[in-house]
Amino acid sequence: MNIHGFNQIGFERLGGGTASYQAVNPSTGELLPGAFREATLSEVEKACAKAASAFQEFHRMTGVKRAEFLEAIAVAVLEREEALKKRLAEETAYPEARILSERDRTVGQLRMFATMLREGSWVQARIDTAQPDRKPLPKADIRQYQIGMGPVVVFGASNFPQAFSTAGGDTASAFAAGCPVIVKAHRAHPGTAEIYADAIVDAAHKTGMPDGVFSLIHSSSHSIGDALVKDPRISAVGFTGSYRGGRMLFDAAAARPHPIPVYAEMSSTNPLFLLPDALRSRGEAIADGYSQSLTLGVGQFCTCPGMVVALRGSDTDAFAQRVAANLEKVSVGTMVHPSIKKGYSAALTERCKHPSVKTVFQSSGHGVFADTEAPPALLQSTAREFLAHPEIGEEIFGPAGILIVCDNREEMMTVAQSLSGQLTGGVHGTDADLDAHKDLFAVLAQKVGRVLVNGYPTGVEVCPSMHHGGPFPSTSFPHFTSVGTAAVYRFTRPVCLQGFPETHLPPELQTANPLKIMRLVNGEYTR
């Protein structure tokens, strides 16, 4: 399909502004065909007005009807495979295998939420029937369920142009909740965003969705994003990106006369703790797995293991040397956008200059690579230095990790206790190791959203039980996930109906339970 570069405002294509920008091929530095029109404030206004109007119809639709919409999006995405492969390769330099696997994840998310909607129990219906004869006071009939909050703004992620962007998890979960979505496309892959937008609009037409259920905004300006967040018709925001970007949106939303939640995924180093028996018995295998996890996708994963913690000794030294040897063999990868590489290079250079950090491995060609090529690196410091200078453990977004060496078990526990909030944390250990370090798991459970044993964090399984979130600053709300069916609750709120006549109750709360969903009725779960 041809790239038109317009803003998709509901079912209209608009491009009233005079400014535009082009995507860049990160492999060549060349501008790609297609000028994307910078959205105007009037187009933002129209998108928000349409979304608010669409919400009145969309959130009242049955779960089955919204499921049909999500399933139709999935089909429409698959129909655009060739266009997606071509444009994504040009905009991201991702290999075809990565493009198709992320596409399949995106489609899988849409279908997962459709399945959730068809089953229906996600509304968490709670019913306490009336007790008119109760003494000293009668009890009213009280019923509660989840409803959509209103229009949602989603900011496309730079590193996941499919699964965390236009039709990604934030959009899918918002649609499932009954919330229209306005997506601000990421400037690194606007053509990909347009192809996905075309699929969503196609599906919306085919399934009878209201005009305004979806809009796509192009802009390289922070002012447009700010205007979207501050519009009084917007009820929530989904964001995946840097701490700085997430904090700006969070602060803008909090400063509104009526604040709204910003569900921001921001910064995480995803520490792995390597216990002594495991290093002794299978240190090489752990080093190999870590090297692969660190460099997968050129380190452009929010779950990239940027920190390793181990006890001082020859096994740890051997681990570090093995990782260094592995990194030396890694082909230097291309990052999605020159700005990401610029941030990686600046952060790595600064970290290498820190007096408490030594370089175990850094490509000899560092600094002479192309604008988007990111050579891997392994740094090292001590627990004492890390505790005194926690900034050396901050995220470097890219294929760079730091090994923190502890003198004893107590130091390792202190490092764990000092961690800021993380998306993931993991432990490699034998059964004996794990038995001896149960207190480490207790600490990690307070610090991270997902704890792994004998695994590597890079990548997230899309399934109902997954939790992709964590304490601040990894996310802005540790109670919520952006992956898995529980992600829908970011965009819903409970409402309680008291004393309602049966004829005025929604199907989810009617006594006869016409939807046959699981409900909590007078303290017992039943269908």
Q: What DSSP line would sit under 279-334, residue for residue? A: HHHHHHHHHHHHHHHHHGGGG--TT---EEEEESSHHHHHHHHHHHHHHHHSPPEE
Residue-level pLDDT at 18: 87
Among 200, 204, 197, which residue's Cα sits nearest to residue 65? 204
Both tokens of residue 160?
């996941």
Strands (E) across 316-447 are located at 333-334, 358-362, 373-374, 377-382, 400-406, 422-428
Taking 70 as the threshold, does the pLDDT of residue 368 lie above it? no
Residue-level pLDDT at 1: 77
CA distances from 175 to 36, 358, 404 (A): 26, 48, 43
Catalytic site residue from 38, 91, 102, 265: 265
CA gap 170, 157 in Å, rounded: 11
Residue-level pLDDT at 365: 56
Both tokens of residue 109?
């998310």
Produce one character per residue of 77-108: b if its CB has 16 or more CB atoms within 10 Å, e if not. beebeebbeebbbbbbbbeeebbbebbebbbe
Q: Is 302 a catalytic residue?
A: yes
- Average pLDDT rounded to a whole number, residues 517-526: 97
- Average pLDDT rounded to a whole number, residues 3-19: 94
Contacts of 104 (CB under 8 A, 6+ apart): none
- Average pLDDT rounded to a whole number, residues 400-414: 97
CATH topology of domain 7-129+145-266+478-490: Aldehyde Dehydrogenase; Chain A, domain 1 (3.40.605)
CA gap 503, 514 in Å, rounded: 13
Contacts of 382 (CB under 8 A, 6+ apart): 356, 404, 405, 406, 407
Percent of the chain with pLDDT over 90: 94
- Average pLDDT rounded to a whole number, residues 195-199: 98
The position carrying tokens 């009617």 is: 510
Alpha helices in 153-208 (DSSP H): 169-177, 190-206
Residue-level pLDDT at 406: 98
CA gap 267, 246 in Å, rounded: 9
Taking 60 as the threshold, does the pLDDT of residue 459 lie above it? yes
DSSP label of 24: B
Pairing assessment for the beta strands 400-406 and 377-382 based on DSSP bridges: parallel
Structural domain spans, the chain: 7-129+145-266+478-490, 272-453
Residue-level pLDDT at 292: 97
With cut-offs at 50, 70 and 90, classify the pLDDT of residue 16. Answer: confident
Q: Measured at the alpha carbon of residue 67, what is the angle toward residues 64 and 71, in degrees to the nearest 5?
A: 140
- Average pLDDT rounded to a whole number, residues 233-256: 95
Residues in the chain: 527
Residue-level pLDDT at 363: 81
- Average pLDDT rounded to a whole number, residues 69-80: 98
Residue-level pLDDT at 364: 67
Higher pLDDT, residue 363 or 125: 125
Residue-level pLDDT at 17: 84
- Average pLDDT rounded to a whole number, residues 158-165: 94
Q: Is 215 helix (H, G, I), strand (E, B) or coil?
A: strand
Alpha helices in 120-242 (DSSP H): 169-177, 190-206, 222-230
Percent of the chain with pLDDT over 70: 99
Q: Find out whether 187 and 156 touch, Cβ atoms under 8 Å.
A: no
CA gap 433, 437 in Å, rounded: 6
Residue-level pLDDT at 337: 87
Catalytic site residue from 302, 385, 395, 411: 302
The 10s digit of each residue's pLDDT in 271-322 is 999 999 999 999 999 999 999 999 999 999 999 999 999 999 999 999 999 9
* Mean pLDDT value across the chain: 95
Taking 70 as the threshold, does the pLDDT of residue 369 lie above it? no
Pairing assessment for the beta strands 272-274 and 358-362 based on DSSP bridges: unpaired
Taking 80 as the threshold, does the pLDDT of residue 420 lie above it? yes
- Average pLDDT rounded to a whole number, residues 108-112: 98
CATH topology of domain 272-453: Aldehyde Dehydrogenase; Chain A, domain 2 (3.40.309)
Equal CATH topology for 7-129+145-266+478-490 and 272-453 = no
With cut-offs at 50, 70 and 90, classify the pLDDT of residue 221. Answer: confident
Among 320, 312, 329, which residue's Cα sits nearest to residue 286? 320
- Average pLDDT rounded to a whole number, residues 60-69: 97
Q: Find out whether 463 and 484 touch, Cβ atoms under 8 Å.
A: yes
Higher pLDDT, residue 107 or 222: 107
pTM of the model: 0.95
Q: Which residues is 24 bridged to in the sheet?
A: 31
Among 405, 293, 401, which residue's Cα sits nearest to residue 352? 401
- Average pLDDT rounded to a whole number, residues 512-520: 97
CA gap 35, 23 in Å, rounded: 8
